[in-house]
Amino acid sequence: MDVLFHNVRELVELADKENKLISEIMIEQEMKISGRSRQEIFEQMDKNLTVMEQAVERGLKGVRSVSGLTGGDAVLLQNYIATGNSLSGDLLLDAVSKAVATNEVNAAMGTICATPTAGSAGVVPGTLFAVKNKLNPTREQMIRYLFTAGAFGFIVANNASISGAAGGCQAEVGSAAGMAAASIVEMAGGTPAQCAEAFAITLKNMLGLVCDPVAGLVEVPCVKRNAMGAANALVAADMALAGISSRIPCDEVIGAMFRIGQTMNPNLKETARGGLAATPTGKEIAAKIFGSAVN
């Protein structure tokens, strides 16, 4: 594939060499790959942003999945934030709430934007619409947030995996959290290198995360894992902006994630045969929904 960059090192070097944002490099890459104009690409991403915004808004009003396993937690978090008694801080919990809101909408069969997958769709918009209140970005900057996320997602998808079935939840929520962390850094004025450090710090701390959906549904523990992914992304972004670096280069972290996924037990990769899905309660839930436990 004729592309501008294949890995994070090339992406950062190109951004530094041309004195451009990572989001700009990704836009140029998309133009090169798709043959579409900048305006067409921007308009498509604008539509994706609108879908994300609508999903967050819907989730914050309260939704419930058909199974009854998930729904309403985003509202509970917003109510808790309003008390002024939160320990984690309003911005972090707002991101968590909006990540949860998105995934609750997904579980309720609503429309979301997979970033990079439906099961991990809450992290990027959850963090975006939380930091929006802090950084007051323009619409263009919000769209660029998604292009930055896309640049790192592109690299992971082509060098490792974004599939829970192939690499476990580290490949889904782990990748999404890294994508969000990098995007937060760029929006906050960080350098391309700091974006890469944020991604690396985030993914390092989610390595080995298994994919064990109870009853085979993208609900438990998926929704709450998006919550933790959003929190992870914000903390890692702050660490990178503070000047903290990952001792293991970003591309090597991605490579490690890929190899871990390859050696992970198949029961822990979206089969609903291990982990939380195999607990007594997990089996009871599956039996209640489907009449018999998922094997």
Instruction: Quote the pLDDT of residue 239.
Output: 98
pLDDT in tens, 182-224: 999 999 999 999 999 999 999 999 999 999 999 999 999 999 9
Q: Decide: pTM greater than 0.95.
A: yes
Q: Is 256 exposed, middle or buried (0-12, 13-18, 19+ CB in 10 A)?
A: middle
Q: Report the alpha-carbon distance of residue 152 to residue 275 in Å, rounded.
A: 28
Question: Which tens digit of pLDDT belongs to each residue from 105-159?
Answer: 999 999 999 999 999 999 999 999 999 999 999 999 999 999 999 999 999 999 9
pLDDT confidence of residue 1: 63
CA angle, 8 then 230 then 155, to 5° = 20
Nearest alpha carbon to residue 5 among 271, 276, 250, 268? 250
Amino acid letter for position 285: I
The tokens of 172 are what?
Answer: 């889904």
Distance CA(200)–CA(11), nearest Å, equals 14
pLDDT band at 291 (very low <50, low <70, confident <90, very high): confident
- Whole-number mean pLDDT of the chain? 97
Q: Catalogue the long-range contacts made by 266-274 (C-beta closer than 8 Å, 24 or more residues apart).
A: 268/168, 268/210, 268/211, 268/212, 269/164, 269/165, 269/166, 269/167, 269/168, 269/210, 269/211, 270/164, 270/165, 270/168, 270/211, 270/213, 271/165, 272/212, 272/213, 272/214, 272/215, 272/216, 274/210, 274/212
Coil, helix or strand for 26? helix
The predicted model gives 230-245 an average pLDDT of 98
